[in-house]
Structure 1
Amino acid sequence: MTYHFSTVTADERRVADRDEVHYRARAFGPDARPHTLLVVNLSPHGLMARCDADFAEGDRLRIMLPVVGVAVAEIRWCLGGRMGVNFETAIDLASYYELLAQLMKK
Structure 2
Amino acid sequence: MRKIDTNKAHYVGLDQRLAARSDVYCRLPFILPDGGQEMCTCVNISADGLLMRYERGLEIGDMIVFRMPIIGRIAASVIWSLGGKTGVQFAKMIAVEDYLPMIRAMGARGDA
TM-score above 0.5: yes
Q: 1:35 touches 1:53 (CA, 8 Å); kept in 2?
A: no
CA positional deviation for 1:55: 1.1
1:21 & 1:27 partners in 2: Cα distance? 17
Unaligned runs of 5+ in 1: 1-6
Partner of 2:97, secondary structure, is helix
AA matched with 1:23: C
CA positional deviation for 1:103: 1.2
Structure number with larger C-alpha Rg: 2
Partner of 1:104, secondary structure, is coil
Unaligned runs of 5+ in 2: 1-11
Q: 1:45 touches 1:90 (CA, 8 Å); kept in 2?
A: yes
Partner in structure 1 of residue 55 of structure 2: 52
TM-score, normalised via structure 2 length? 0.83
Q: Over aligned residues, Cα RMSD in angstroms? A: 1.3
In the alignment of these two chains, the number of paired residues is 97
TM-score, normalised via structure 1 length? 0.87
AA matched with 1:96: Y
Of Structure 1 and Structure 2, the greater helix share is in 1
Partner of 2:104, secondary structure, is helix
CA positional deviation for 1:104: 1.6
AA matched with 1:43: S
Flag as ranges the 4+ runs of structure 1 deviating above 4 A. none
1:85 aligns with 2:95: no
